[in-house]
Amino acid sequence: MSEIRFDGRVAIVTGAGAGLGRSYALDFAKRGAKVVVNDLGGARDGSGASHSAADVVVNEIKALGGQAVANYDSVATVAGGENIVKTAVDAFGKVDILINNAGILRDKSFAKMTEDEWDLLISVHLRGAYCVTKPAFNVMRDNQYGRIVCTTSGAGLYGNFGQANYSSAKMGLVGLMNVLNIEGAKYNIKTNTIAPVAASRLTEDVLPPDLFNKLKPDYIMPIVLFLASEANQDSGMIFNCGAGWYSRTAIVCAKGVTIGDGKRPIKPEEIQDNWSVIKGLDEAKPLGSVAESFEYMMPLLK
């Protein structure tokens, strides 16, 4: 087993003052990375702010002999995102690794969800990833090296009652990853996404206590560190992880059915007659870009 090290690497972990982000930050530092510990220090619902969350983790890292600096900006503004990246560049000269992890919850059934609850979740999770990734991506592009890990959720991938705002924002991150995968390829920037399940303040009233105690954030850390390492050559993938289970999950395209000849009209009844094949997932596979989906239509476009 070759050891995964981050000597000479600079990592930004957003929302690293607690939960999963704290676990990543500590282990990046233990393995030699210089770490920017970003955390707004607000409440679970996004209200408030405090320096103590980031400061505590920076002090923990320093006590272990590691190198870290704190940043207290919200990821949800362009100025904040730029300052998070500037903190890394000013303190350590570059950015090699970005973990888009900061997050909040405002659960409500869709019928009762307010515009503010919708906007805030999109702002922290999706706009937040944009605000930090944009300046970080540019530094990585200049250095021809980068590893980005985004954080989605099973709630977005598969659905969960009461989380329309959160789920929509989290699936937005999958779209961002898909494009960064393509645009980062020539710069050796690899972007992947995790869908974790772990004990934290976000899940303490969702998970039963016996499960909560078993779902340690330290079981998410290993896959995040691997994806963020030089050893990882994969990009554009989504991974479920929790309690020691690691599994790829994907948006796939099935073989489907070809009706007509690309010239004659097609009737709704022909969809009805072919419905079991159209909705079936025969020969389903992930695609590397939207262009690949055109190949299925090519016989009809000649």
Residue 166 designated active-site: yes
Alpha-carbon distance 14 to 32, whole Å?
18
Please identify which residue in the block is written with the tokens 């990592």: 11
DSSP-based helix, strand, coil % in the chain, nearest 5: 45, 15, 40
Pick 58 or 145: Cβ nearer ligand NAI:
58
Contacts of 103 (CB under 8 A, 6+ apart): 15, 124, 125, 151, 202
Nearest by Cα to 248 from 236, 265, 256 = 236
- 178/200 with CB nearer ligand NAI: 200
Q: How far is the CB of 138 from ligand NAI (least distance, A)?
A: 20
Of 24, 72, 145, 166, which residue is the catalytic one? 166
Measure the CA–CA gap between 189 and 181, rounded to whole angstroms: 8
Residue nearest to ligand NAI (CB): 19
Q: How far is the CB of 202 from ligand NAI (least distance, A)?
A: 4
Beta carbon nearer to ligand NAI, 25 or 140:
25
Specify the residue for token string 């087993």: 1
Task: Decide whether 160 or 274 has the Cβ nearer to ligand NAI.
Answer: 160
| CA–CA separation, 160 and 221 (whole Å) | 24
Beta strands in the chain (DSSP E): 10-13, 34-38, 67-71, 97-100, 146-151, 189-196, 238-242, 245-249, 252-253, 285-286
Q: How far apart are CA 27 and CA 221, in angstroms?
A: 8
Q: How far is the CB of 210 from ligand NAI (least distance, A)?
A: 15
Q: Which residues bind ligand NAI (CB under 6 A)?
A: 14-15, 17-21, 38-42, 44, 46, 53, 74-76, 101-104, 124, 128, 151, 153, 196-198, 200-203
Q: Judged by CB, which is closer to ligand NAI: 33, or 57?
A: 57
Least distance from ligand NAI to the Cβ atom of residue 29, Å: 17
Rounded to a whole number of angstroms, the minimum distance from the CB of residue 33 to ligand NAI is 19
Q: Please give the positions annotated as active site.
A: 166
